[in-house]
Structure 1
Amino acid sequence: MRWVLPEYFQDVLPPEADKLEHLRRKLLDAFRLHGYQLVVPPLVEYLDSLLTGAGQDLRLRTFKLVDQLSGRTLGVRADMTPQVARIDAHLLNRQGVSRLCYCGAVAHTLPATLTASREPIQIGAELYGHAGIEADIEIIRLLAEVLRIAEVPTSRIDLGHVGLFRALVGRAAMDDDAVRDLFGLLQAKDVPTLTERLAPLDATVRSALLALPKLYGDASVLIEARRVLPDWPEVVTALDELDRIAAALPGLPISVDLADLRGYHYHSGVVFAAYGGHSPSALALGGRYDAVGKAFGRGRPATGFSLDLRELVQRLPAPDLPGAILAPASGPDGLNEAVRALRARGEIVVETLPGHEGSWGETGCDRQMVWHDEQWLVVSLEGEGAAHG
């Protein structure tokens, strides 16, 4: 069956494609109005570029192939963020703050969830060149604006901080495998297994790591965190940053989850996840990733977010799209001018082709152009009602 697609790959048909494109344009316009400039990275790059540095977390999700020109291994991008970091670090080479946005398809070897596509359409925004939390605040506000424009109710925006985890395991002298295992247990909030694995550690570190899965809720959780976590400078700094971000975002459904950790080799500070639209998984993910640009020759402070446009569109009702106008392929003088005038007003005009009588409703036509009293009129396709062309 040649028409069958691989699992978790789907065609986008009308009107779903109309919803997708309509939302893409609205969001890119919003990014532009906030000063974010559009970049379009290539679909395929050398694998070592896609996976360099923080991109190592993408290794298992990246499709690989051999370049017939160079013989080198190529990768089909699984995430556009490292590509945008490469553009900022190596191509733009700006000295000040740089705001970039992007939108394009990525490919995953495995679906992220049971309902996810293996070809998400990733849209996002990144801010480079400012190390202060003002950049994180701006990015979270922009994410909230994106969800508002998409008309997806946001139930909560969880804040976390990878710096807390780094500070705690840094005192425990654990090897990379043990840290990776511990990181996964914290993400899963698997407290029984976590308790077992942490048994050999120093009591202070052990109790702090065991406290993280319990530290979630509204911003008052940060008060409890200061009570139960050690008052080491890096821990205090991380909690101070979360406090300031939460205080700077009144009106948003900010919550805290100190075990919601992602991208240990990727993120370097504040991380966040937005939930809503009755989705059990996060609609958008983001955070600070200051180390990414170093692999491309110039490390810059960086923070940003991305989301899957396909997933977002599924939460939206079908748009009330305008119908099209059916125009004859030929007619009295003035037909072409009348068609151009209608299209200039934003009307969709479809020209007839011979041999397809009665089928034009399938293309969305609900009106037609007719010649009457020496002028072109637009009437319903059934012939009821009329307007001047």
Structure 2
Amino acid sequence: MKAEPDLLTLPNEVLLQVFRRLPRHDVFFGVAHVNHRFRNLVQKNLKTIRLFDAHCHVNIVDNSSFTKYRNDGTDPIITYSFTLFDRRLPEFTQKRRLCLRGNDIRYKELHLSHFNDSSMHAQFERAGAGHDVSILPITVKTLLSYINLQAIRFQVRKQCKSESKRIEDDFFADCLQFCEKVCSQVEIKSLLLASKSILFPWKLGQKSLMKLSELRSIQNLILENMTTFDPFSMYLKLPTTNLASLQFRMDHRHRLDLDQMTFTPINGSLLKILSDSAVPRLDFSAYSEVSQIVSSIDSVDMCCFIKRWHSSIKPWIIKGISFNSTVTIDDFRSAVYKSLPSNFAIPIPYCRFQTAHQKSRNIVLEFACYANGNATQWIIRTGHLDSC
């Protein structure tokens, strides 16, 4: 009788094919602990084995602005919290898009920080009233090597004086560099930047803006209370290839501080950037749910966008571009009559305007507006003439 092959005698190439077909939990918490050979095989091939999708919450309390901090992401004022996603659960897409903590409750949250001497301190969160469980640094490094970081929430609270030399900082770039060092893969799909201090808003430095420009895989960018953030800085080139949402929002405390209408740095340059990139079936939102916060996009910018779309080589299909503005329907109508030919932006019922493409007359660009308190919400989309 022919003997069954011994798993330990199989060549590494065959073992890898087997490992890639196993559930991630079995690979990283089972196979990798069988023996030294299997562990090395897993560790050396992390790029080809399916990793755990993860979320990281970076919390920074900057209360020593005159003190130089470590720029490698290991300063004591920085804490990291890692949770995992489960793609099979229905809320996965929404949680990742909004940069909420991971939805896989089978695994505990991992908290990570560093002491003054750069030594690592890590704990697993214990549910209920129990104490957190401390973990050895070598175990933490192994666990982090099993994840693909897909969503990050940066929360920075400045507690400093106005004369502080650290008006700008590069916490974002430093922390992201640390994550890239400890995680096998960093493929950011969603990013939330939050400033938590009303008196001292968080402002990204040049290094951080350049790092943000490199995130080509980003799909959702949320800016919370980031009143000093300029998306059109000379050091920042918005990665629009996959960007589907640019959202400005404010928490309750910051809303109470608003006593008048505030304009965001979003202006006509955004429409030009989107037009230049011409991402197929773009679904992009720069809309703010706070009616006092409006973009600086004016009616002239909107008319220029119509011209560019109409004269493009082929129709650019747009699922939706939304933003809020002080431009009313009457302002837009006046700008259209002054700067566009008579067959452009033809008014149709329900506060909408349509423009046909120069080469495909059955494909139209539509501008629609809806009242929203002090501002007007505008939505740009395309469609076929017979379906609009």
TM-score for the superposition, normalised by structure 1: 0.23
More strand by share: 2
Task: Please say which structure displays the higher CA radius of gyration.
Answer: 1
- Tell me the TM-score normalised to structure 2 length: 0.23
**Of the two structures, which has the highest relative contact order with CA contacts closer than 8 Å and spacing of 6 or more?**
1
